[in-house]
Amino acid sequence: MDGIFNSPFMVKLQEFGQKLGSNKFLSALQGSMMSCMAPIMVGAIFSIICAVGPMFGIFQNGDAVYNILYAPYHFTMDLLSLWIVLIMAYNYGKALGLKSPIMTSVQTAVCFALIACTWGTNEAGASVIDVTYFSSQGMFVSFFVCWFVCQVEKFCQDHNVRIKMPDVCPPSLVNGFSAILPLAFALIPLYALEVIISTSTGGAMGICSGFMAILSAPLNALTSVPGMFVLCGFAALLWCFGIHGNMVLVSVILPMSIQAATANAAAYAAGGYDALVFYPIALYGSMAICGGTGNTLPLLIFGLKAKSEQIKAISKIALIPGWFGINEPVTFGMPIMYNPILCIPYVLNIFVVMLCTLIGYKVGFLVPGFVPIVTLMPMGFKSFLSTLRWQNAIWDYLMIIPAGLVWYPFFKVYDNQLYNKEQEALAAEAE
């Protein structure tokens, strides 16, 4: 195993990861994701509560109690891109040497909100804001907005493009007036692009929705077994770049899943398990079978014994949410996104687990689901309830093994890298 860790590929990969980590923009991006652990964890806790309640009959999905308990999730995870872009703009602004990174953060949030949200009124005349793309769906666009706004601010600062105030004015007032022109120069082209796209599509799309539509358009044809490998690998790869891959696929996956479950429900009623038909869509669950997208639960299990205090801490707090399939804490906490050392096993293990699952279906150990289950559940519960077979439930846990075999060598390399950084930091403090 030491030969794998010290192989030329792993050494080059580690060097590449260190170079990316030194990039100001990517460093700000990763730092903002790790800084958002508070809303991510609070959102995960309330999501788990809302998943457990209906299982024990305490309340039901959609009733008054459920809606009250689910509200914190809306204001944490469903606004995650907004919280990340606020912190990211501040971090990137500081890295670029901007005079008032807090104002840069506000400017970025304003520009992102302008293109990510739609503002209207309901039948009662109350204002209504669609914040769909404030969630992880709009994350990649928020990264671009952050980069663009900060670069405009940097240009204006370097060329002294600002509204000047007398020196006797308070610094806060000076910073406020200095931000007017950079905000206008960043906001106008972004909003113009939004208006052009909206006008040309009859109001059907904007920057965010158009970006997602472009990604999802060619995927409808990939409905075969090889196609599902392509779809799932593509979705995981998108996540590595901050794009919600699952949401890109939802227009393809959801109808296929419902059709397959409905057809198999009728088949089961007519002929029992022997009448069930394997549809390739059944493989889609393999990309999140143990710990959420990327099958990240093995990474957390390894992380409990990590040398790095960062990995160990993230693993401890993310383990229970991961068991429920909520892996945002590990995705943002490690982080996995824009981290080549962890992105490779994040994508690669999906193919391995999908292949094992395909074999499981072919030999008859697994049966296709015929009960549609769309709510969040602990690992194995959904597989059991959708098939009423213990074999399907235990399969989720068996897949920790092949997924773990893929994760382990990359985990060790990343653990050693962070551990060495932590030791260097401690040595510097001791001097």
What is the DSSP code string of 226-237? HHHHHHHHHHHH
Q: How far apart are CA 238 and CA 132, in angstroms?
A: 18
Beta bridge partners of 130: 118
3-state secondary structure (DSSP) of residue 430: helix
Kind plus residue range of the DSSP H or E element containing 268: helix 245-271
Token pair listed for 75: 């204001």
The sign of the CA dihedral 26, 30, 33, 35 is negative
Question: What pLDDT is recorded for position 195?
Answer: 94
Tell me, what's the pLDDT at 138? 86
Q: What is the pLDDT of residue 34?
A: 81
Residue 348's pLDDT is what? 96
Residue 118: strand pairing partners? 130
Tokens 């999802």, residue located: 216
Residue 20 is predicted with a pLDDT of 66
Which tokens sit at 128? 């209504």
181's tokens = 């022109």
Contact 120, 128 (CB under 8 A): yes
Token couple for 139: 């994350």
* Residues comprising the chain, all counted: 431
Strand partners, 129: 119
Tell me which residue has tokens 């200095």.
Answer: 178
Token output for 412:
């060790």
CB neighbour class for 73 (10 Å; exposed up to 12, middle 13-18, buried from 19)? buried
**For residues 342 and 410, is the Cβ–Cβ distance under 8 A?**
yes
Alpha-carbon distance of 235 to 25, in angstroms, equals 23
For residue 411, the surrounding DSSP H or E stretch is: helix 400-430
Say what angle helices 400-430 and 390-398 make with each other, to 10 degrees.
Answer: 40
Model pLDDT, residue 220: 63
3-state DSSP of 145-166: HHHHHHHHHHHHHHCCCCCCCC
Contact criterion met (CB below 8 Å) for 311 and 303? yes
Q: Please, which residues have CB within 8 angstroms of residue 34's CB and are 6 or more apart in sequence?
A: 332, 333, 335
Give the DSSP H or E segment for 127. strand 127-130
Three-state secondary-structure class, residue 76: helix
In whole angstroms, what separates CA 95 from the centre of its chain? 24
Q: At 119, phi and psi to the nearest 5?
A: -115, 130
CA separation for the pair 54, 227 (Å, rounded): 35
Q: DSSP state, 273?
A: G
Burial class of residue 419 (count of CB atoms within 10 Å of its CB; 0-12, 13-18, 19+)? middle
Sorted by where each begins, the domain ranges of the chain are 24-205, 220-431
**Over the Cα atoms of the chain, what is R_g?**
24
Phi (first) and psi of residue 128, to 5 degrees: -130, 130
Beta bridge pairs of residue 119: 129
Could you state, in chain order, the average pLDDT of each consecutive group of 10 residues for the chain (431 residues)?
A: 62 68 82 85 85 82 88 89 93 93 94 90 82 86 94 93 80 84 94 94 89 74 83 89 78 74 82 88 90 93 94 93 90 89 95 96 92 78 88 95 95 92 87 72
Q: Are strands 118-121 and 127-130 parallel, antiparallel or unpaired?
A: antiparallel
**What are the backbone angles phi and psi of residue 167, rounded to the nearest 5°?**
-60, -25
- pLDDT value of position 427: 87
Q: Which tokens hold the place of 212?
A: 């997602």
Beta-carbon contacts of 402 under 8 Å, excluding residues fewer than 6 positions away, are 349, 352, 353, 356
- Residue identified by tokens 């007519």 is 270
